[in-house]
């Protein structure tokens, strides 16, 4: 059913949409998350949100360790009780070969549903909350590029430009005209 899904890349407009709640908890949802785990592992990621495969649903999968028993699915997640702040390097499967130091809350609470529509709550800190926040951003149409500071944008501008040009070429879009600098 979802065999043809692939990870979509910046600047695909589907990545910038706010996702809608999941309302149907059936075998199709399980098939979608199975395929998302396959893609996440294939691309060596630790998390993958449904918008990153072109599906506009509030859903993400993650696995911080790579061990099968650490697979986690979060449906219609809500983050709260953010405390502290820390900066660390992040990458994104929709922005390959790009990384930047991003500030995130250090500890958080996650309320979500599982694949059967059952509510659960988790508290975490550090790496887990970083993954949560990154994937939650995807559900709200926010990408790493939008969280980067000016130095990180400058450092990654060549790769970002290449992704934009590739997308334009694949979709028959005229590349953006370069702004002329005033002297």
Tell me the C-alpha distance between 87 and 43, whole Å.
24
Instruction: State which fold the 13-170 domain adopts.
Output: Peptide Deformylase (3.90.45)
Would the pTM of this model clear 0.85, i.e. be above it? yes
- Sequence spans of domains, the chain: 13-170
Could you say which of 81, 135, 170, 174 is catalytic?
135
Minimal CA–CA distance to 35: which of 70, 73, 65?
73
Q: Is there a catalytic annotation at residue 135?
A: yes
pLDDT digits (tens, 9 = 90+) for 125-172: 999 999 999 999 999 999 999 999 999 999 999 999 999 999 999 988
Q: In which element (H, E) is residue 36 found? A: helix 27-42
């Amino acid at each position: 059913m979802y065999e043809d899904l692939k990870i979509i890349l910046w600047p695909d407009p589907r990545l910038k949409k706010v996702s809608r709640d999941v309302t149907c908890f059936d075998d199709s949802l399980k098939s979608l998350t199975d395929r998302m785990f396959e893609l996440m592992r294939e691309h060596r990621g630790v998390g993958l949100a449904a918008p990153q495969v072109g599906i506009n649903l509030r859903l993400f999968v993650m696995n911080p360790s790579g061990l099968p028993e650490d697979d986690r699915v979060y449906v219609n997640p809500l983050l709260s009780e953010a405390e502290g702040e820390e900066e660390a390097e992040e990458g994104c499967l929709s922005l390959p070969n790009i990384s930047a130091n991003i500030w995130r809350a250090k500890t958080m609470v996650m309320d979500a549903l599982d694949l059967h529509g059952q509510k659960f709550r988790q508290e975490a800190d550090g790496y887990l909350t970083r993954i949560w926040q990154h994937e939650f951003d995807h559900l709200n149409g926010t990408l790493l590029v939008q969280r980067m500071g000016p130095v990180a944008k400058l450092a990654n501008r060549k790769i970002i430009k290449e992704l934009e040009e590739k997308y334009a070429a694949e979709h028959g879009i005229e590349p953006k005209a370069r702004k002329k600098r005033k002297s």
